[in-house]
Amino acid sequence: MFRNARPCDADRCFEIETSAYEGDEAATREKIAKRIEIYPEGFLVLETDGEVVGFINSGCAHEVEMSDEEFKELVGHDPEASNVVIMSVVVAPAHQGKGLSKALMVEFVERMKRMGKTTIHLMCKEHHVPLYELFGYRYIRPSASDHGGMAWHEMSMDL
């Protein structure tokens, strides 16, 4: 079941985020709670048997600057903007390998289309570039971001 996140999901989403991402790459619980509070329409969770097992969260901007760290706290977010910026796509490790990230992405893209958005942007590690290309994203460039001390690559999808 897909639904928008609720404030009571913050702890579980933080648990999933920290179990699936490396070191400083994971968002803090406070950032996750703020993203749910400010833009629940862009925070999609996937439940299996009543348990949140994965999510995608995002914000919207008129001008996209992928290396903008403040945007991860939704500074500059405008829900009316046509460009969506994904901050996390994550599935709990115990549920990975079951096609759930694809299901999440398909649902998320459809929701963004229905909301009238025109593009979706994300950053990923190099080994995920082919996966996102399969989802319909195109490679843009290596990112100037060094979030979590890692190298990132920018991708975009036109809706």
pLDDT of residue 147: 64
- Find out whether 7 and 36 touch, Cβ atoms under 8 Å: yes
pLDDT of residue 67: 72
Strand 119-124 versus strand 83-91 pairing type: parallel
pLDDT of residue 31: 93
pLDDT of residue 57: 96
Q: Domains plus CATH for the chain?
A: 2-158 (3.40.630.30)
**pLDDT average per 10 residues of sequence, the chain (159 residues):** 98 95 82 96 96 97 84 90 95 95 96 98 92 95 75 92
Q: What are phi and psi of 52, to 5 degrees?
A: -70, 125
User: What number of H helices and E strands is found in the chain?
Assistant: 4, 7
- Find out whether 140 and 156 touch, Cβ atoms under 8 Å: yes
pLDDT of residue 65: 85
